[in-house]
Structure 1
């Protein structure tokens, strides 16, 4: 499915354009206001902002978080839907058919669920940011009421961490797999698909972790190789011009390394999402096989997991 490799390029371009537009809009909001002459000998004009302009940057930040998270979630759903479609219908779907069908199912069936999930995650991130800023301001003042407010904000931030992890897991499991080909066929909603995906992962935690850890380690090595190769090539190109650089050679090398890490993460996330989706589908097929259904897993995948000792041989399931 070569069409999946185009998804990170579209997502990265959209996120870059959105971030640039958001930065321009933020500058406009921060420098807007009614000019008011300040009292003093010199003529100084100050910008007085009303309540709408004071809270405008927060609204804009929430909208930016929402739009960026929506773009990433749409990419994840498209990739997982195409992977699940290939898993259940491999041999019958063309190379470009699965990504196109996944985009169509996203727009027709799951766009509302993705919008709701991205909005909840954006609200959670904004609430954590507001609690962090409020805690810092309260600790600086040193009053008793402010200390209590800071403690409450810290407890709220700690309580949101497992909830956000559950939301990420539900989004990756339900909106990435069960809200894909199988969920579309059954007509599941966001809550039911998330509940079923969470139960599926809980029942097969060891089975998924057996191969998922290896996949994550390989992807981490791939990201490190991309960053190391970029830094080495950049060092070779600028080693003769290091004396002409005002900040030395490490500033452009660090910038190039961060850019390479971002690009590698965007493109390798396709493989990570595909790997997670395939193993969730694999666990679903294992449960169907135990109930007497026909397994649709590849023989090589079943043999590899059987060697780990977590999956029984196919003869014992019948």
Structure 2
């Protein structure tokens, strides 16, 4: 484009050539740029135009310059014949109404196109713009992005290290701050609701004194007008007051269960502190997931390219007389010479693979099986991680004398035990979940195909089916998670473990709900804390707003300072999610162990409780110590 300030926009002679930007041959010849001449212009064309055959004998000055179409390449003489300029690709053979964006002239999607031989559909212009966006300054942007990462990668690693330390500290400190933190969060919710009640009361008083009633307003579709009547604020006040009262009653009647939930959170933090290796097990799961996805991608690529490739003729200036006899969109041999070398820009380009025939249908069926296998293996890897972590944390709970009775390598022992004895149970649970997910994918595909039907009854039925499958998937994930915990504890098959886990949770449904909500609240607060701290520190550092750091700690000079900031925030969220997912699995495992302990044991010397002293104190229970035994009470 150069540095011409009077011509700030770049015009592509033939935007349809950008459709071929992903062609291997074109990329090898032209890189990431569209294989068409480009010229800097002062303004983009506003109307559609195509060179008429009667204008081939005229000069460039008569057709382009005097008609206010100064879109030829610089240096084209006025007296050059139009046909010669088109053959040498010095001037455009057609123009499209365009609008300037990102320094380029983009054709309008809804513009009226001229009649172009071989190019007359709106699909072609859509594909051309998409190809142009793909190749739009791609080389410059990629170089700048690479430079930014090259200058800031070590600072991004520092930010991720800060996120790792903060996540680990938050999990470990929960044994000390779980109670106060839950209390602060509860008081915060109560305070927000109390302020909402106060605000609604003040607004209601003001509008009541003015006499602004809904009877004066009447019915209107302008919902913002309802903010000016007293009944709206009165209704909001009543709703908030009811919520405040219900929350207070729940806290009064559920205080014992909240104390149990806090004690289990502290015990989970202690378990993580005793087995620090469990916090880094998500890395193993991540690697296994990458292997599964990479294997499926290679398999899908091999299957997709197993058909017979098709090559067709394509010419950018099909309207030229020398190109009229070109059989556009007919098959050709890419290794042979073009049949009409006089047509400028004639190419034999790749169109696609044949998708008909018995072999292609067989390959399509293999793709379906491949997708099912992908879902199955991914769910199996996730199930493996859950069962391994459950086995490690269960060994902590059922150790009577902690930490003396905890196995030396609990995570490794749980991993080997799971692979040796429970692979089939995990595969069965993963298969059930995969079938539901495949059903959801098929339903989404059907909904996409029927979206243009505009049938209210069909849309309603489709939404109901999608909602039911979503709820079913959530339930199966919940059931599988607890079934894997029971498998890790007792080693029974999937069906028996799922039934036992479900019945155990249903017998303690109130405790389940309280623990689940308290845990979700704490983990959400932890994620916000970690991501917020890393995001704020990254913003102030990469924007150079932290003075006095010295030369060794100066922020690098970046083209896009937001790039390392967003990378740090995303990485911090992934790290926090990985740490807190392990902690959540620990809480769920200890909770099921606690319920089993409560139902199976009675504190006698033959069946002592394995729970902590804090839980025994909350429940008002104790272990009977036989004479001469110093075990805990």
Bin of the TM-score, shorter chain as denominator length: 0.7 to 0.9
Change (3 A) 1:33 1:141: farther
In the alignment, structure 1 residue 179 sits paired with structure 2 residue 466: no
Matching of residue 41 in structure 1 with residue 328 in structure 2 = yes
Tell me what 1:300 maps to. Answer: 614
Deviation at 1:242, TM superposition (A): 9.2
Change (3 A) 1:31 1:235: farther
- C-alpha change, 1:243 and 1:170, in structure 2 (3 Å) is same
Q: Can you list the C-alpha shifts for 1:75-133, whole angstroms capped at 9, x where unaligned?
A: 11011111112211243434533223312321222110101111221221121011011
Q: Which residue is 1:12 aligned to?
A: 286
Matched, 1:68 2:372: no
Instruction: Work out which of the residue numbers 219, 223, 246 in structure 1 matches 2:523.
Output: 219
Q: State the 1:237 CA deviation.
A: 3.7
Change (3 A) 1:175 1:234: same
The answer to whether the Cα contact below 8 Å between 1:226 and 1:260 also exists between their aligned partners in 2 is yes
Name the residue aligned to 2:398. 88
Alpha-carbon displacement from aligned partner over 1:163-194 (angstroms, at most 9, x marks no partner): 22231122111212x1113x12xxx2211111
Cα distance between partner residues in 1 of 2:297 and 2:535: 29
| Aligned alpha-carbon RMSD (Å) | 2.9
Query: Offset at 1:250?
Result: 3.4
Deviation of the 1:272 alpha carbon: 0.7
Could you tell me which runs of 5 or more consecutive residues in structure 1 were left unpaired when the two chains were aligned. Answer: 307-311
Paired position in structure 2 for 1:309 = none
Secondary structure of 1:297's counterpart equals coil
d(CA) in 2 for partners of 1:296, 1:212: 22
Q: Alignment partner of 2:353: what SS?
A: strand
- Give the whole-Å Cα distance in 2 for the aligned partners of 1:74 and 1:80: 10
- Give the C-alpha shift of residue 31 in structure 1: 4.4
**Equivalent position to 1:201, from 481, 505, 518:** 505
Aligned residues of 1:62 and 1:122 also touching (Cα < 8 A): yes
Indicate if the aligned counterparts of 1:80 and 1:273 stay in contact, CA closer than 8 A: yes
Deviations 1:214-236 (A, max 9, x none): 23322222222222233233323
SS in 2 for 1:89: coil
Structure having the larger proportion of residues in helix? 1
SS at match of 1:93: coil
C-alpha change, 1:221 and 1:180, in structure 2 (3 Å) is same
Q: Deviations over 1:5-49 (max 9, x none)?
A: 231111112223333443444444444421245594354554113
In the alignment, what sits opposite 2:582?
A: 270
* Residue in 2 that maps onto 1:314: 621
Counterpart Cα distance in 2 of 1:242 and 1:56: 50
Mapped to 1, the partners of 2:296 and 2:567 lie a distance apart of 22
**Contact conserved, 1:286 with 1:295, CA < 8 A, in 2?**
yes
Deviation at 1:276, TM superposition (A): 0.7
Q: Which moved more, 1:158-167 or 1:31-40?
A: 31-40
User: Comparing 52-61 with 236-245, which one deviates more in the overlay?
Assistant: 236-245
| Residues 291 and 165 of structure 1: CA distance in aligned 2, closer, same or farther (over 3 Å) | farther
Which gives a bigger RCO, structure 1 or 2 (Cα 8 Å, sep 6+)?
A: 1
Give the counterpart of 1:52 among 348, 358, 362: 362
TM-score (norm 1): 0.81
TM-superposition CA deviations, 1:127-177 (whole Å, max 9, x none): 101101111101225589xx75x665544332223322231122111212x
Partner SS, residue 179 of structure 1: helix
Report how far residue 290 of structure 1 moved.
Answer: 5.4
The 5 Å alignment of 1:86-165 reads 86-91=396-401, 92-94=404-406, 96-141=408-453, 148=458, 153-165=462-474
Distance in 1 (alpha carbons) for counterparts of 2:616 and 2:366: 54
SS at match of 1:130: helix
After superposition, the C-alpha distances for 1:56-85 in whole angstroms (9 at most, x for unaligned) are 443333222222221111111011111112
Is 1:261 the counterpart of 2:573 in the alignment?
Answer: yes
Are the aligned partners of 2:425 and 2:493 in contact in 1 as well (CA < 8 Å)? yes
